[in-house]
Chains A and B, each alone.
Chain A
Amino acid sequence: MNFKGKDIISINDMKREEIIYILETAEKLERGKRQDLMKGKILGTLFFEPSTRTRLSFESAMKKLGGKTIGFADPSVSAVKKGESLWDTIKVTAQYCDVIAMRHPLEGSARLAAEAATIPIINGGDGPNQHPTQTLLDLYTIKKTQGKLTGLKIAMSGDLKYGRTVHSLTIALSLFGCKLYFIAPEILQMPKHILEELDKKNIKYSLHEKIEDVVKEVDILYSTRIQKERFADEREYEKVKNVYILRAEMLKGVKKNLRVMHPLPRVNEISTDVDTTPYAIYFEQATNGIPIRMALLALVSGVIK
């Protein structure tokens, strides 16, 4: 499979085989000795919106592969502040590096950047739209903890309406025949267009209002935060805010292989007493961003074929 020169913009662009190949490459890189595969190459990290974690993870991945990084973490120090268009910024900065990882607050910015650049662009988040490296590291975590991606029972809880991570993860999991459980208050349930897509693909799913309803059946519980600002009426928020908090006592009698995931940062939706249970995997999940980003950098640069 040849990824050389490819852009990584959206999980919607990816085929099942491509996802599997990326995950396998990440696995090999994580297991293997430190390699200087990206020696002499430069990664540009263009962060038009602050995101310390994603940026550091890209930079760490590049350095582990022997490459160098340049970039900015705050657009106020770049020409953007002077009113330069994204197209022009990318046209110029693409001359300074071999691959770009970018984050931008506007949706579709990564796709536009990919059209402007002659080098590969990796989307590190374009507003509320896509964050494909997050989805890939989620899939990598699921595969690593369950030994497979197919036929699993996966629950997602919290804000399913606005959460881009759960949307992309749902689309990606629909390629692997998993059964999905969506746990959310009615007003924050998974959007209709995503459920329709699951129907078209004959993917089994069910809607729930309480974590307790399904937690004993599932292999993965993917928790997300419910944000107060999503509610027009604060009383509505007060009603549901505690329903979606996972506590250690709720994990009694669950399957041994259950793992609790979260895209982080968490606020209070997973109580800290869950951290010490064998089910918590969210910190390791964040670490898995490194091998995934290493794999993507190596693949799109063509140093791994």
Chain B
Amino acid sequence: MNKKEMKVPGIESGTVIDHIPSESTFKVLDILKIGDELVTVGNNLSSKKMGKKGIIKVSDKMLKKEELDKIALIAPQATINEIKNFKVVKKRQVQMPSLFLGMIKCFNPTCITRHQDVKTKFILINKKPVELKCHYCESVFDKEQLELL
């Protein structure tokens, strides 16, 4: 175990979310809706690739597709490591989906989804920078206006 890893201790099994932009670390933590799981969080850690980064380690939790999709939106460079017996058994970068169902609140206050019980639906129209279009009201908005459900 090297010095850097010691800053955020390893876990026996669960998920490590690495390469989170520092400003998004706590937003990612919000997405995970942590209950009883053991969680360790490191932020503003130095990173060759990113300058500064965040890392979240959650014991005994595998992420669901919906959680991965939400993470992709706010931390598109994040890597997901699945851990078993202290070893990384699977490592991948989050993938930005083309469709977001019931995950995002529409930015437009006069959108029907803000007033009635409707599952929101957003289409990714641009990856860099992120631009999403509401399937219902057709409003286009960017990452700054994003509000996760």
Q: Is B137 an interface residue (CB 8 A)?
A: yes
B117 touches A107 (CB 8 A): no
Q: Is the CB of B116 within 8 A of A86?
A: yes
Q: Which residues of B contact A193 (CB under 8 A)?
A: 140
Please measure, in the bound complex, the distance between the C-alpha atom of A87 and the C-alpha atom of B118, giving whole angstroms: 9
Using Cβ atoms and an 8 Å threshold, which residues of chain B touch A104? 112
Assess whether A107 is in contact with B116, with CB atoms less than 8 Å apart.
no
Cβ of A111 under 8 Å from chain B? yes
Closest B residue to A13 using CB positions:
B138
Query: In the complex the two chains form, is B136's CB within 8 Å of A108's CB?
Result: yes
In the complex, what residue of chain B is closest to A106 when comparing beta carbons? Answer: B112
Minimum distance in angstroms from A48 CB to a CB of chain B? 11
A52 at the interface (CB under 8 A from B): no
Contact B111 A107 (CB under 8 A): yes
Within 8 A of A (CB), among B84-135: 106, 108, 110-113, 115-118, 134-135
Q: Count of A-B contacts with CB under 8 A?
A: 52
Q: A85-B116, A86-B116, A87-B116 in contact; A108/B140 too (CB < 8 A)?
A: no
How far apart are B137's CB and chain A's nearest CB, in angstroms? 4
Residues of B within 8 A of A86 (CB): 112, 116
User: Interface residue count for A (Cβ, 8 Å)?
Assistant: 19
**A129 within 8 Å of B by Cβ?**
yes
A45 CB within 8 Å of chain B:
no
Bound-state Cα–Cα, A109 to B134, Å: 12
Docked Cα-Cα span, A105 to B108, in Å, equals 13
Query: Which of chain A's residues 127-184 have a Cβ closer than 8 Å to chain B?
Result: 127-130
* Chain A residues in 8 Å Cβ range of B106: 108
Contact between A107 and B118, CB atoms less than 8 A apart: no
* B137 with A129: CB separation less than 8 A: yes
Q: What 4 A-B pairs have minimum CB-CB distances, sorted nearest first?
A: A108-B136, A107-B137, A108-B137, A108-B112
